[in-house]
Amino acid sequence: MGETIWVNATLYTEHRVIENGRMIVTESGTIRALGDELLPIPAHARVCDCRGALLVPGFIDVHVHGGNGFGMMEGTHEALDGMSRYHARHGTTAFLATTSTADMETIKQALRNAASHVGLTAGAELAGIHLEGPYLDVKRRGAQSEAFLKLPSGSEIDELLEVAGGHLRLVTLAPEIEGGLQAVKQFAERGVTVSAGHSDATFALMKEAVSLGVSHTTHHFNGMSPMHHREPGLAGAGLLMDKLTTELICDGIHVHPAVVKLLFEMKGPGNVCMITDAVSPAGLPDGAYGSVVVRAGEVMLKDGSTLAGSSLTMLQALKNAIKFTGYPLEKLLPSMTSVPARQVRLDKVKGSLSPGKHADFLLLTRELELISTYVRGGEVYYAGLDEA
């Protein structure tokens, strides 16, 4: 089909907002050039008029378990494809399929299945895997299954890495458990980003864990040792240690809006990684689904004891963050795009509107309603809105 040029867009690039902007996308789905109305239209290019819509980089969700009735742990292509289509309808263009704690054979099957379908989903692009558990602290397990929590071993970690086929990009573990620090080192040496989560680590232990390779925290403030004035815990470590990037479930349920603002004020958007932590029932009507109940956007275990993931979408997380912090769109976008790309080492090809990167982008109205979602230059969702 040749090249496509997008014109009359409000273009959100890495360094500035370009009014009446233009973007040229190659036939192979990468960005060739960006600029204003002076950027020439290539001969024979297809011209797409954005009619003033906002053209922003697509959102990258590095922590998502499922959606619309589909879940990663089902271990099927249909499940991965279903969740990819659902999240594409809400602004996600790439995601890491995220495991939950289960028996080891179920985890391995989920890893094999995800590894064999990287890059093959029809909606948001499956870009890799996030292993959450089973190496977690029982005290901070949240909704993770206590029966299948275990201590890490070097041989088992090697096996999981092999099963994942080089697609394991992020792992959540508790560094304080027996063998935890060695696991941090082993994963980090194999190029996997290591996140401290479902952890009761002390501040002092987190210093050691960071020195060995921990660079991320999982759903900050949730499932971790809280901040106390005599023991800052993992929550305090995330706030104070520059080498840690903090995940955030910005639904106003997992973290109070005032604490959302506090996190952004202390860390800056460049060190906050927004996620959904969405589970299989996300997007479905309120009701009971297996071991969880969905009610008014909240997902809880049936016994009401704890939150069990979320029903959040990335687009709603962005809207919430704008409301909770008062920050403008351009200040918050990195937390949805370039920060997650950096954290899971996708930043050479995704995370911003830059020449040479994949043309993963969204068209939004000025009210931040989604018009359409594009992955590698191809439309994977269209909402039916004609213009901004």
Q: Which residues are annotated as a binding site for Zn(2+)?
A: 132, 198, 219
Tell me how far apart the alpha carbons of residues 200 and 328 are, in angstroms, rounded to a whole number.
35
> Binding-site residues, please?
132, 143, 198, 219, 222-223, 230, 254, 307-309
Element (H, E) at 260: helix 257-267
Q: With H, G, I as helix, E, B as strand and everything else as coil, classify residue 312.
A: coil
* H-type alpha helices, the chain: 77-88, 104-116, 154-163, 180-189, 203-212, 233-240, 257-267, 314-325, 329-332, 338-343
Tell me how far apart the alpha carbons of residues 173 and 380 are, in angstroms, rounded to a whole number.
34
> Binding-site residues for substrate, please?
143, 222-223, 230, 254, 307-309
Tell me how far apart the alpha carbons of residues 17 and 11 are, in angstroms, rounded to a whole number.
6
- Catalytic, out of 61, 137, 200, 277: 277
Q: Tell me if 249 sits within 8 A of 275, measured CB to CB.
A: yes
Q: Is the dihedral of CA 153, 156, 162, 164 positive or negative?
A: negative
Element (H, E) at 95: strand 92-98
Q: Which of 181, 199, 179, 201 is nearest to 189 (CA)?
A: 181
Q: What values do phi and psi take at 235, rounded to 5?
A: -60, -45
Tell me how far apart the alpha carbons of residues 66 and 366 are, in angstroms, rounded to a whole number.
29
Task: Indicate if 277 belongs to the active site.
Answer: yes
Place of tokens 């997380």: 317
The residues annotated as belonging to the active site are 277
